[in-house]
């Protein structure tokens, strides 16, 4: 990736992070991630996710119609923040902010990884070529948080939850089930995240023709890293998060009916046709994954 492309990605990440920071300021008084608090931590797990969008009302209509989520709003005006629920359990937050004129992405999901020390993790990111977008700070009711960009310019967050982390479980339909990072150099990305997240990096032998890795922590596979094929010049380094659905074809079609866009349609040659990627009406990409429940726990 050239220096100009990387700077553009970082600028977009900064814009998204600054918009999310406005929402973070409104988080005081929100319920903790885990209630009642347990004080149990699963470092390396993605434990929270926020959507920054230009129209929360439209996002609620879209995600409610697609996944059956329900919503509750706290605060008002520029300090409003919306919690999304699936079957009564929180699955993420939403904040409405208008983008800057030069911001290409108008909406984005940003997920937070559990770490024992947010300041130390942020320092490690910078030392390894990443960028601190939002410095570590204490958010009342939530814990310590920071938003970073990796060396490719992709934003992600750190959190040390004040109440503990969610347990490991197999996600229900309508809940987040997977995190995928795509990079033009998956080996370098794997080395970076291994260092800053204390992950074990395990090669995925199912893809002998290209580099693909799993990030493992606490005995669980937390995410995967995939190599972007050279011919896919339109793909950029970024995190993509997947929601479990009962029928990926029906869910992709429903997303289009609700005003979204199908970016990657289900393909029998890719994960047996059980994944798709869509964009919501404001442009935020979301993965859809159809998962056969074979018992056990994931995430």
Question: Domain spans of the chain?
Answer: 3-26+39-161, 176-290
pLDDT tens figures, 135-160: 999 888 889 999 999 998 899 999 99
pLDDT band with cut points at 50, 70 and 90 for residue 101: low
> Which two structure tokens, joined as six digits, stand for 190?
């794997």
Question: Average pLDDT over the chain, rounded to whole?
Answer: 85
- pLDDT at 33 (0 to 100): 87
Q: Is-above-0.85 flag for pTM?
A: yes
Cβ pair 166, 33 in contact under 8 A: yes
CA dihedral (168, 176, 223, 111) positive or negative: negative
Cβ pair 111, 288 in contact under 8 A: no
Distance CA 165, CA 37 (A): 9
Scanning the structure block, which residue is given the tokens 């310019």?
Answer: 153
Distances in Å between the alpha carbon of 222 and those of 152, 160, 261?
Answer: 20, 17, 27
- pLDDT at 36 (0 to 100): 87
pLDDT tens figures, 285-298: 999 999 986 544 45
Scanning the structure block, which residue is given the tokens 């869509």?
Answer: 278
Mean pLDDT of 70-82: 80
Q: For domain 3-26+39-161, give the CATH superfamily.
A: 2,3-Dihydroxybiphenyl 1,2-Dioxygenase, domain 1 (3.10.180.10)
Say whether 176-290 and 3-26+39-161 share the same fold.
Answer: yes
Distance CA 25, CA 47 (A): 19
Please state, as a whole number, how many other Cβ atoms lie within 10 Å of the Cβ of residue 100: 12
**CATH code, 176-290:** 3.10.180.10
pLDDT tens figures, 252-272: 999 999 999 999 999 988 888
Cβ pair 43, 114 in contact under 8 A: yes
pLDDT band with cut points at 50, 70 and 90 for residue 77: low
Mean pLDDT of 26-41: 75
- pLDDT at 115 (0 to 100): 97
């Amino acid at each position: 990736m050239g220096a100009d492309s990387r700077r553009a990605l970082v600028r977009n990440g900064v814009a998204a992070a600054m918009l999310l920071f406005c929402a973070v300021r409104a988080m005081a008084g929100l319920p903790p991630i885990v209630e009642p608090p347990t004080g149990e931590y699963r470092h390396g797990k993605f434990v929270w996710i926020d959507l920054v969008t230009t129209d929360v009302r439209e996002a609620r209509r879209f995600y409610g119609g697609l996944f059956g989520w329900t919503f509750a709003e706290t605060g008002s005006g520029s300090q409003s923040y919306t919690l999304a629920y699936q079957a009564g359990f929180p699955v993420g937050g939403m904040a409405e902010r208008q983008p800057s004129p030069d911001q290409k992405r108008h909406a984005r999901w940003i997920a937070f990884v559990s770490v024992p020390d947010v300041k130390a993790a942020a320092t490690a990111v910078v030392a390894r070529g990443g960028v601190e977008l939002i410095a570590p700070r204490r958010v009342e009711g939530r814990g310590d948080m920071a938003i970073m960009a990796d060396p490719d310019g992709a934003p992600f967050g750190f959190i040390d939850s004040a109440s503990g982390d969610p347990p490991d479980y197999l996600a229900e339909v309508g809940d987040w089930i997977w995190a995928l990072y795509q990079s033009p150099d998956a080996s370098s990305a794997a080395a970076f995240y291994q260092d800053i997240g204390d992950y074990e990096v395990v090669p995925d032998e199912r893809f002998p023709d290209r580099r693909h890795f799993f990030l493992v922590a606490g005995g669980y596979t937390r995410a995967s890293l995939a190599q972007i094929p050279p011919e896919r010049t339109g793909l950029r380094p970024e995190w993509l998060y997947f929601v479990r659905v009962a029928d990926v074809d029906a869910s992709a079609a429903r997303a289009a009916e609700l005003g979204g866009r199908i970016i990657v349609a289900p393909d029998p040659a890719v994960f047996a046709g059980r994944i798709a990627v869509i964009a919501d009406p404001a442009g935020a990409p979301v993965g859809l994954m159809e998962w056969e429940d074979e018992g056990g726990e994931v995430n």
